[in-house]
Chain A
Amino acid sequence: MNFLFHIGNYLMMLYRVFGKFTPWTIMRQLILRDIDTLIIGSTGTVIFLSFFVGGVVTIQTALNIENPLIPKTIVGFATRQSIILEFSPTLVSIIMAGKVGSYITSSIATMRVTEQIDALKIMGVNTFNYLIFPKIVAMMIYPILITFSMAFGIYGGYLAAVYGGFGTTSDFITGVTEDFRPYHVIYAYIKTLVFAFILATIPAYHGYFSKGGSLQVGKAATISFIWTSTVIIVVNYFLTQLMLT
């Protein structure tokens, strides 16, 4: 029953996000601030992680394919598929649930415990729109971040393959371009947009409805990470089933 209550409450929250709108002059500043914090502030982390994970994927693929009958181009192919289909959209989103999600939860929960949300309410502000809508808009440019992740993941794989002695530049590039299906990229971006919405709203829900003091802010951030990553994994399964089979 508690689970159903939270689903209902979450849906009510989403409905209210699109209620009375904050004036555009204020909303514009909030959106730009959230783009800076949530997207630009995460670019370095995402590029760094993607670069090294791309390298690791390449090395592991190469080490597991020692059969001379299998062409060396498979290393580039496998790296591309792993990065585009799964690592960049899904695993980076789970990492972002820890980074961006925890930030959203703790910042909103801190506003709750310091009565800043009550202050906004009493000023006649639709707090759901003011606090959550800019984050949803900011996260809609999250696919740009995932594009960087894909590019740097594959580049990391390329460097690992060539400088690690697992193949030539030609082998890797041939593999990356082999049997390329643009639909896979579309699938990855659709997943990314759905995850972006989840990353903006579930942590916001846990922050907005947190109660108590500073200890509860930390607890809300932890619970928010667990739920955000769980929902991303489950939705990922259903989207994959729906779009790739």
Chain B
Amino acid sequence: MIQIEKLNKQFNGNYVLKNITTTFEVGKTNLIIGESGSGKTVLVKCMLRLHQIDSGDIIYENRRLRDLDDEDLIDLREQMGMVFQGSALFDSMTVEENIAFPLKMHTKKSKDEILELTERIIQRVNLLNSNKKFPSELSGGMQKRVAIARAVVSKPKYLFCDEPNSGLDPYTAMLIDNLIAEITQEYQITTIINTHDMNSVLEIGEKIIFLKGGQKNWQGTKHEIMNSSTQEVRDFLYSNKVFRELGKYVDTPKTE
């Protein structure tokens, strides 16, 4: 579990994150949603300590992120996996080498064991016959699969995904979402997904946090979001024509 307590972050005097308090639960797909510029990526980067926070706390199973020295931080990061928006695959390595990289870095497994685990995860994410290809030879969807495989091959405790289905067609996006959700359940990972794709929200949003102007505006589940009375959530949700049409059949609650 990851706890966030009264988190504040500002750039040049402007608050990008203001007083955020929440928890991200184990074995669940936790979604951070919001408009562009609402602070989603900054929040994830603060949780990875790629940005330093100004005040508040981020706690990984009783380990305060801000108290960790370089060595402890590296140890914690060995338990993390990350799927970047642009995949961030190592372009000088093949698919197989990209996926095997975390195992080679952090385990003392033999070459054969690493190859076997890599092969297994390649099959799991449906990337057959691509082992020897370089990232530049893959489609966007395949690159995302490689990124997911690389992120989970060493069975991390925490998985972060920054807009994992941006730039993908709706069908491939749904496959990627489901793949992440299945892997989260299978490996009992605490997964945090940063997205503004409403299809993802309704497909896999077990816990959803809505950010508006750097503040937590709403939180709930995929079942609750359609009935939310919070105006900002409704504006965000129904900015898509399909959801506007769908919204006509959903009762708007008086209070929340």
Chain A interfacial positions (CB closer than 8 Å to B): 16, 19-20, 22-23, 25-26, 33, 114-116, 118-119, 121-126
Contacts and interface: CB of A to CB of B under 8 A. Distances in A.
Contact of B77 (A16, A22, A123): A123
B106 A124 contact: yes
Interface in B80-97: 80-82, 84-86, 88-92
Contact of B78 (A16, A25, A118, A124): A124
A11 to B, nearest CB: 16
Interface in B56-96: 70-71, 74-78, 80-82, 84-86, 88-92
B77 A122 contact: yes
B50 A123 contact: no
Given A19-B70, A123-B101, A115 B88 contact: yes
Nearest to A123: B102
Contacts of A121: 48, 50, 77
Size bin of chain B's contact surface: 20 to 34
A119 B82 CA distance: 7
A18 to B, nearest CB: 12
A19 B80 CA distance: 21
Nearest to A116: B88
B71 A20 contact: yes
Interface of B: 48, 50, 70-71, 74-78, 80-82, 84-86, 88-92, 101-102, 104-106, 160
A23 to B, nearest CB: 6
Contacts of A116: 88-91
11 contacts: A22-B105, A114-B91, A115-B86, A116-B89, A116-B90, A118-B82, A119-B90, A121-B77, A123-B77, A124-B75, A125-B74
Given A123-B78, A126-B74, A118 B105 contact: no
Given A122-B160, A124-B78, A125-B74, 4 more contacts: A33-B92, A114-B88, A124-B106, A125-B105
A13 to B, nearest CB: 13
A25 B82 contact: no
A125 B91 CA distance: 17
A114 B91 CA distance: 10
A123 B107 CA distance: 12
A25 B86 contact: no
A124 B77 contact: yes
Contacts of B71: 20
A124 B88 contact: no
